[in-house]
Structure 1
Amino acid sequence: MTTPPRLIPLLEQFDFARERLSGRLAGPVMDSGNGTDVAVGPMTDEEHLWEPVPGCWSVRRRADGPGPRATLLTGAGEWGRDHAPFPHPEPPPFTTIAWRLSHLSEVLTLRADHTAGTHTLTRDDYVSHGDAAGAIAAFEAGADAWRAALLAADDAALDTRGHSTYPHGSDPEDPFIDVVWWVNQELLHHGAEIALLRDLYRARNA
């Protein structure tokens, strides 16, 4: 199927942001933004779970229970992500790389399912990972699934409200092209946050 012309720049933006974050997480090089390769080491498990300030929200073993000001650990499996239902804590807790990467991967995975999949997955089904390799693999799988959902959208789908039935946002009321834009900004801003946390981790003992 031919990609709708107005989807092409959003798809290119997604691909560029995804490639930069993938390189930033796993190395051995990342794109500096101007096409220059910069050496970067792979993220370690310790860095993935690093809590730079007291009271962080993170991904935790379910047996250990939720962290400060969280009331539950979302998802399925051995690990879960700190969460609290609305109204959320104020000020918002600072979140680790593990939390941010789990959230981003969940957004990609669930929106892909609610666009071109079973339309059934919820946060309770998503599996978070306590190890860096597992978290990176989950991000790549979610990004692949979301990209496939984009490529399956024709021009009419871009204007269809509820083409994505993702239950944790306004997707059922929004034209799909607005959802595509929203997912891109999620990738861009969480990718930038994760990159900064990697820089802070590297410089923590300087």
Structure 2
Amino acid sequence: MTTPSRLSPLLQQFDFAAERLIHRLTGPVMDSGDGADTEVGPVTDEEYLWEPVPGCWSVRRRGDGPGPRATFLAGTGDWGRDAASYPHPWPPPFTTLAWRLSHLTEMLVLRADHTAGGHALTRDDHPVSGDAAGAVAAFAAGAAAWRRALLAVDEAALDTVGYCTYPHGSDPEEPFIDVVWWVNQEVLHHGAEIALLRDLYRAAPPRPFHP
């Protein structure tokens, strides 16, 4: 299928953002933004779970229960992601690299399913990774699933309201091209947050690690 002309720049933007984030998390080099490669090591489990300030939301072993101001752990498996029903806590909790990467991955996987899959997955179905390598692999798989969903759409689909039935956003009331734009900005802005957390972790003093 030929990619619709309106979708092509958004798809290119998504590819750039997802690839750049993966390289930022895995190394051995990343795009520095000026055309030069910058050396970077893979994110470690300690860094993945690092809480730079008190009261962070993160991913946690299910048996440990939710963190401060969270009321439940989202997802399935031995680990879950701190969450709360509406209204969310205010001011919003600071979130760890693990929380942000899990949030991105869940969004991509669920939106792919609600666009080109069974239209059935919920947050309760999504496994949460307790280790860095598993989380990065899950993100890469989610990005690939979303990309496949995009390659299956045509011009008519881009203008169809509710083409994506993702239940945790306004997707059922939005033209699909607006959903595509929104996913891109999610990857871009959370990717930037994750990059900043990596910089802060690198510059922070040594700290004890208790997985």
| TM-score calculated relative to the size of structure 2 | 0.97
User: SS of the counterpart of 1:177?
Assistant: helix
Rounded to whole Å, the distance in 2 between the matches of 1:7 and 1:89 is: 36
Question: In the alignment, what sits opposite 2:134?
Answer: 134
Structure 1 unaligned regions, length at least 5? none
User: SS of the counterpart of 1:94?
Assistant: coil
User: SS of the counterpart of 1:82?
Assistant: strand
Rounded to whole Å, the distance in 1 between the matches of 2:34 and 2:121 is: 38
Q: How many residues end up aligned between the 2 structures?
A: 206
Question: In the alignment, what sits opposite 1:109?
Answer: 109
| CA deviation map 1:123-167 (0-9, x unaligned) | 010101010000000100000000000000100000001110000
Rounded to whole Å, the distance in 1 between the matches of 2:35 and 2:81 is: 35
Question: In the alignment, what sits opposite 2:50?
Answer: 50
Q: Does 1:154 align with 2:171?
A: no
| CA deviation map 1:21-64 (0-9, x unaligned) | 01000000101123211100000000000000000000000000
Question: In the alignment, what sits opposite 2:7?
Answer: 7
Over 2 Å off, 4+ runs: none
Sequence identity of aligned pairs in percent?
Answer: 78
Q: Tell me whether 28-37 or 73-82 shows the greater mean CA deviation.
A: 28-37
Structure 2 unaligned regions, length at least 5? 207-211
Rounded to whole Å, the distance in 2 between the matches of 1:2 and 1:106 is: 28
Question: In the alignment, what sits opposite 1:121?
Answer: 121
User: SS of the counterpart of 1:172?
Assistant: helix
Rounded to whole Å, the distance in 2 between the matches of 1:59 and 1:148 is: 28
| TM-score calculated relative to the size of structure 1 | 0.99
Question: In the alignment, what sits opposite 2:183?
Answer: 183
Rounded to whole Å, the distance in 1 between the matches of 2:165 and 2:32 is: 36
Rounded to whole Å, the distance in 2 between the matches of 1:138 and 1:12 is: 21
